[in-house]
Amino acid sequence: MTGRLAGKRIFLTGAAQGIGLAIAKAFLREEAALFLVDRDSDLLEREAKAFGESGEKVAWLAADIADAATITGAVRQAAGKIGSINALVNNAGVNVFAEPLETSDEEWSRCFDVNLKGAWNCCKAVLPGMMEAGGGVILNIASTHAFTIIPHTFPYPLAKHALLGMTKSLGLEYAPRNIRVNALAPGYVSTQKVIDYWNSFPDPEAAKAETMRLHPGGRIASPEEIAMAAVFMISDECPFMNATCLTIDGGLSVQQHPA
């Protein structure tokens, strides 16, 4: 299909790699206009220019979503580049995994500054324009950590639980203004972060095999599979889907014990 996102002017964070980059590519195939944000300026510029060379309508800015003033300015800049933002994808995030009592104040702050406050900064920046335009859609990329707990991953699940709570709260608050707010919860996805996780073990191949064994289908998701779900949730194909979360984890979070 093509044209499913025609007319969507999307502010996408964490766009330079992994799930965010896959989402950007899928959105462009469906004829959206994009304003891309990422902290990695070099990587973002390289990927964004590659899109631009294909004639697609893309603008970008290197920014830290934890900085509210910067994000407010970025949304203003986005409006000047691609038009008033009518869709937001809060994809940027940071893994902070530790034992609870070994978590430093710096780790705690960074986890919540990016995974929760950063997402709120983006929501707060785009909501006035959406209300003025008569509607919009927000998609928060959560995680299965938003409703399950894996030991030794503190405080990341706390932030993702809170992100899911914010999704529901904003979804109800702004439903009368024709603004849908939903979340997408991936499980394991074959990104560089997951590869780095496997490589942190003495036997990376054994670690990878153990991850695959946890999944009923014996594999994990590709970034493209998450991206196509994001296309659906941003599109007008689910106009009554609001204040909820779509889980894409191959059934991992449903089973009590691996087979």
Q: What is the pLDDT of residue 52?
A: 73
Q: How many helices (H) and strands (E) does the chain have?
A: 9, 9
Residue 142 CA to residue 147 CA, distance in Å, equals 10
- 143 and 197 both lie in a single domain: no
Alpha-carbon gap, residue 32 to 5, rounded angstroms:
5
Give a yes or no: residue 254 inside a domain: no
259, part of any domain: no
Q: Whole-number mean pLDDT of the chain?
A: 95
Asked if 195 and 80 sit in the same domain, the reply is no
Query: 153-162, 190-199, 234-243: lowest mean pLDDT where?
Result: 190-199
Q: Note whether residue 61 is domain-resident.
A: yes
Q: Give me the mean pLDDT over the 152-180 stretch.
A: 98
Radius of gyration for the alpha carbons in the chain, expressed in angstroms and rounded: 18
The answer to whether residue 2 is domain-embedded is no
204 lies in which domain range? 187-220
CATH code of the domain in which 13 resides: 3.40.50.720
Task: Give pLDDT, residue 256.
Answer: 84
Whether residue 202 sits in one domain with residue 106: no
- Considering the domain boundaries, does residue 52 fall inside one? yes
If asked whether residues 204 and 148 sit together in one domain, one would say no
12 three-class SS:
strand
pLDDT at 54: 54
- For 149-193, the DSSP string reads --TT-EEHHHHHHHHHHHHHHHHHHHGGGTEEEEEEEE-SB-SHH
Hey, what are 5's tokens? Answer: 């996102």
What token pair was written down for 187?
């499980």
Asked if the structure places residue 127 within a domain, the reply is yes
Q: What string of DSSP letters covers 65-87? A: TT-HHHHHHHHHHHHHHH-S--E
Averaged pLDDT for residues 32-40? 97
Q: Averaged over 245-251, what is the pLDDT?
A: 97
Pair (139, 240) in one structural domain: yes
Judge whether 4 lies within some domain.
Answer: no
Record the tokens describing residue 198, joined without a space: 């496997």
Instruction: Indicate which residue of 156, 174, 188, 197 is catalytic.
Output: 156
Let me know whether 14 and 90 are in one domain: yes
pLDDT, tens only, 45-104: 999 999 875 555 899 999 999 999 999 999 999 999 999 999 999 999 999 999 999 999
Please list, in sequence order, all residues whose beta carbon lies within 8 angstroms of the beta carbon of residue 67, skipping any fewer than 6 positions away.
121
Question: 173 Cβ partners below 8 Å, 6+ apart?
Answer: none
Asked whether the CA dihedral 211, 161, 20, 65 is positive or negative, the reply is negative
| Residue 134 domain-assigned (yes or no) | yes
Do 100 and 146 have their domain in common?
yes
Residues 93, 164, single domain; the answer is: yes
Confidence (pLDDT) at 142: 98
Q: What is the pLDDT of residue 258?
A: 76
Q: What is the pTM of this model?
A: 0.96
Which pLDDT band, with edges at 50, 70 and 90, does 1 fall under?
Answer: low
**pLDDT on residue 257:** 80
Distance CA 259, CA 213 (A): 8
**Domain identity same for 139 and 192:** no
Check whether residue 60 and residue 144 sit in a common domain. yes
Structure-token pair, residue 94: 């940071």
Residues 40 and 166 both lie in one domain: yes
Residues in the chain: 259
Q: State how many domains the chain has.
A: 2
Would strands 245-248 and 154-155 be described as parallel, antiparallel, or unpaired?
unpaired
Concerning whether 174 is annotated as a catalytic residue, the answer is no
CA distance 2 to 247: 24
Residues 157 and 82 in one domain: yes
pLDDT band, residue 2 (cuts 50/70/90):
confident
* Lowest-confidence region among 29-38, 81-90, 228-237, 248-257: 248-257
